[in-house]
Each structure stands twice: as C-alpha cells, then as structure tokens.
C-alpha cells in the first residue's frame, strides 16, 4: 500500500510538471523520486514550496510503514497524499501563480498591471 | 535581562479584526510573563498578499515603513509580529533590502516622498510571538509561572506555511540545537509541552491551509482545511493550536463550510497557542478572548479547567 501511495504522489507531481511543459525527471533526491519531482516542479515557482514539507512527510511516512504496518500511519500517509493532490489541483485550477500561494502576479503581468513603482 | 524582554509590537491589521482574540491573548500572556510590548506608533498594513500581487516593491516599502518607525523613531532593536503574514513580510522586506538594489532604490524614493527616514537593512530584528516567548522566557521559567496544567489536553500544533517559507528569508532558523527548524518547527510544541499539553504527532503542521485560495477557489480551501482537521482528529487531537490569524480563521470558517457544503463534520477545536498558554498561566478565558473564537474552545478546555 505504501508503494501505491508513493506512486500516486509521484503521479500528482508528474501532472504538475507536465502541465508546465516539461518532462518529469527520473532522478531521485535522497533516494526519493518524489522529492526530485518536487524540486523540479518548484523551479521558478517559489509558491510551490508550500507543499515541500508535505512531500517530505510522505517520504517519511513511507519509511515509517517499512518498519511498522499500522493502520494509523497508513491513514496519515493517505491524508498527506490527499493534501498534495488538493494543493496541486488548486494550483492548476487557479493558474495565476505568483510569489506566494495566493499571488496572481502572472495574470497581472499579462494584463500590463505589473511593476508600477517606476512611474 | 533578555533582549526580548521589551520589544516593539506590530500587531498588524488582522489582529484588529478577525484575530482580535490573538491580540488580547498575546498581550495578556506577555503581561503575565513580565514581557513588555511597545506598540509601533502609527503602524500601517504590511502589504499582506494584496499589495504584493499588484506590486511587490510597494509591499517591501510598506513593511519597511513599519520597521523604520520601530528602529528610527522608537529606537527599538527588536520588533515582534504575532501574525505569520506580517512576520513573513517584514522578514522578506529585510531580505530584499539587504540583497536587492532595486528594492532599496524604490523604498528610499517612496520613503523620501512620504517624509520619513528610509529603513536600513540590519537595523532591526524581526521576531514572531513564538520567538518572543520561547527565547524571552523559555520553558523552565514558563513552568515556574504556571497556575494550571494543560495535562490531558491533546494538541496538534499547526504552524501554516508562512512561518518557515521561503527558507532563505529566515537565516536564523536551521542553526542547530535550540534554533527553530523550517522543516520540523517545534517552538510551539516546546512551549505547550512545558505547559503540560500532550502534543500529538501531526504530519500536516506546515501544510498549506488554502488561505490563499479562499476567495478565488473556496472549495479547494475547504477541502484543504478539512484534510487538516481530519488529520488532526486521526492523530487524536482535541485541539489544533494556531499561531497565525489567517490560518486560524480559515480553519474555523472552513470547518463550518465543510459541514454545510460537503456534509463532513469535524469536532476538533481551534485555539491560539497564546490562549492555551494563558489558560495555563491562570488567566481568565474572557481575557484571552476564547468566547470570540468560532469553534467552542471551552468544550476542550473543560478537560483541564
């Protein structure tokens, strides 16, 4: 089950990377491809770091489940993966991604409203 | 005497509105611990999210004005901001002013136009309410002053995302033993454990609450919050301790919305960490603004009172 959950988390980040027009990495960070995918997905998008610790917790729970097969730890891992999915879904739905979670800077850049301090 | 014994206090807009109880409980706890606050005179909004979206350098200026008043007019060396958003923005402004010439130029130009001294990076230390109590008093002194114990209360400590991210604007964190961690923050856990609370293992302590999506996509926010609430309940928590007014009101309001819209009821209660510490210090619930919370914190606190 832990492998399925980890694969699901990787698929979520793959979707994010692909939506940005890149090929998902096959590399790993600290032995986890999930962490490498997160690093790739956050490149140039600082707001995506809001899910960095969620990814690290998924990796941590994956390791925990290798040593103890208890229901509570598995449920927590499921919730972490669900949180990642909700977060990424939100980011993909609201395509105005910016400096931090709610920033709509790129949308404003497109509409010519950006950088008005020089005037 | 600790350098945090008397600090400039920047409550920020949220603490005069939805986070009013956080303001009153922070002041009450400070008073009970012998820590003093000098409110920044004529402070303004830090720029929050809204200004940052329109023009990030204006947000840097707005935060720098607050720091200029604290450092130049009040001659303070430390400013304390209990709101994660304000704390984050002041830290970000400090970083930008230290590292970006264009930000310095913009801030200097607007400061001159506004008729006040330009804030110079490095003049002031910005801290959070957690740093103020943890470093200004510490767990041992806190234990000495306790009137009640939170023993029996199971707490999930929720820090949100702006307290630790992005990592580069918090250079004092991740400095080894005793310092705060950006990946596994523990200052709130430490303080509440000292007050007798039982901290549960809560993996979503730094997860996004969706506060940013609240207006643009409320349903995503509701689902993100619901997942946090359900994870806290699955971890066995009676209470989620918060240290950010935006996260706190988001958790409370979307708890109600999750039940209405999704039919998913959760019963875990939200309390500011200052309200919990206040209870342990023997301060009355009314002074701590517990009646102002949307979720009925007294229901959980009855376990320890």
Q: How distant, in Å, are the alpha carbons of A65, A86, B207 from that of A73?
A: 7, 20, 17
Q: Can you give the pLDDT at residue B268? A: 97
Whether residue B49 and residue A103 make contact (CB cut-off 8 A), yes or no, is yes
Can you read off the two tokens belonging to residue B227? 């997942």
Considering only residues A94 and B170, tell me which one the structure prediction assigns the higher pLDDT: B170
Q: In this model, does residue A119 exceed pLDDT 50?
A: no
DSSP H helices, B195-260, are: 218-234, 245-257
Number of Cβ within a 10 Å radius of residue B196 = 17
Helices vs. strands in chain B: H and E counts, helices first: 12, 8
Q: Phi and psi at residue B212, in whole multiples of 5°?
A: -70, -30
Q: How distant, in Å, are the alpha carbons of A42, B73, B90, B185, B219 from that of B95?
A: 20, 21, 9, 21, 34
Nearest-by-Cβ selection for B212 from A49, A93, A102: A102
pLDDT in tens, B225-278: 999 999 999 999 999 999 999 999 999 999 999 999 999 999 999 999 999 999
Can you read off the two tokens belonging to residue B58? 């204006």
pLDDT in tens, A32-60: 999 999 999 999 887 788 899 999 999 99
Whether residue B220 and residue A76 make contact (CB cut-off 8 A), yes or no, is no
pTM for the model stands at 0.89
Looking at every residue in chain B, the average pLDDT score rounds to 94
Considering only residues A72 and A109, tell me which one the structure prediction assigns the higher pLDDT: A72
Q: Can you give the pLDDT at residue A56? A: 95
Please give the residue of chain B at the shortest CA–CA distance from A102. Answer: B212
Percentage of chain B modeled with pLDDT above 70: 98
Nearest 10 degrees: CA dihedral of B19, B305, B133, B82? Answer: -10
Do the beta carbons of residue B113 and residue B38 sit within 8 Å? Answer: no
pLDDT in tens, A103-115: 444 444 555 544 4
Shortest distance, CA B251 to any CA of chain A (angstroms): 15
pLDDT in tens, B160-198: 988 998 889 999 999 999 999 998 899 999 999 999 999
Kindly state the average pLDDT of the residues B47-55: 78
In this prediction, residue B147 has a pLDDT band, given cuts at 50, 70 and 90, of very high
pLDDT in tens, B65-93: 999 999 999 999 999 999 999 999 999 99
Q: In this model, does residue B131 exceed pLDDT 90?
A: yes
Whether residue B165 and residue A50 make contact (CB cut-off 8 A), yes or no, is yes
């Amino acid at each position: 089950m832990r492998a399925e959950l980890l694969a699901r988390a990787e698929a979520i980040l793959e979707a994010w990377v692909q939506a940005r027009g890149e090929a998902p990495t096959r590399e790993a960070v600290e032995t986890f491809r999930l962490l490498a995918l997160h690093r790739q997905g956050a490149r140039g998008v600082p707001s995506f770091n809001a899910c960095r610790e969620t990814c690290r917790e998924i990796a941590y729970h994956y390791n925990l489940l290798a040593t103890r097969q208890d229901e509570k730890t598995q449920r927590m891992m499921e919730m972490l993966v669900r949180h990642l999915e909700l977060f990424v879904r939100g980011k993909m739905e609201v395509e105005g991604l910016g400096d931090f979670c709610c920033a709509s800077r790129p949308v404003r850049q497109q509409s010519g409203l950006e950088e008005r301090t020089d005037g | 005497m600790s350098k945090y014994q008397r600090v400039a206090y920047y409550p920020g807009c949220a603490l005069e509105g939805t986070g009013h109880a956080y303001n009153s409980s922070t002041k009450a706890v400070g008073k009970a611990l012998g820590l003093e606050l000098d409110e920044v005179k004529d402070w303004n909004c830090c720029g929050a999210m809204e200004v940052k979206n329109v023009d990030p350098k204006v947000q840097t200026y707005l935060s720098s004005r607050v720091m200029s008043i604290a450092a130049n007019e009040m001659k303070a060396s430390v400013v304390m901001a209990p709101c994660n958003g304000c704390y984050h923005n002041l830290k970000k402004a400090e970083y930008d002013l230290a590292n970006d010439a264009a930000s310095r130029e913009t801030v200097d130009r607007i400061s001159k136009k506004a008729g006040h001294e330009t804030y110079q990076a490095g003049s002031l230390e910005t801290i959070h309410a957690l740093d103020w109590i943890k470093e200004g008093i510490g767990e041992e002194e806190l234990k000495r002053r306790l009137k009640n114990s939170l023993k029996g209360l199971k707490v999930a400590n929720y820090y949100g995302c702006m307290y630790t991210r992005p990592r580069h604007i918090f250079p004092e964190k991740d400095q080894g033993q005793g310092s705060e961690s950006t990946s596994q923050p523990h200052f709130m856990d430490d303080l509440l454990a000292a007050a007798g609370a039982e901290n549960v293992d809560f993996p979503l302590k730094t997860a996004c609450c969706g506060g940013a999506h609240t207006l643009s996509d409320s349903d995503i926010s509701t689902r993100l919050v619901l997942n946090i609430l359900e994870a806290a309940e699955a971890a066995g928590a009676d209470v989620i301790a918060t240290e950010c007014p935006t996260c706190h009101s988001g958790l409370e309001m979307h708890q109600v919305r999750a039940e209405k819209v999704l039919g998913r009821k959760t019963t875990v209660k939200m309390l500011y960490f200052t309200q919990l510490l206040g209870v342990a210090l023997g301060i009355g619930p009314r002074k701590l603004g517990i009646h102002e919370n949307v979720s009925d914190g007294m229901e959980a606190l009855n376990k320890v009172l």
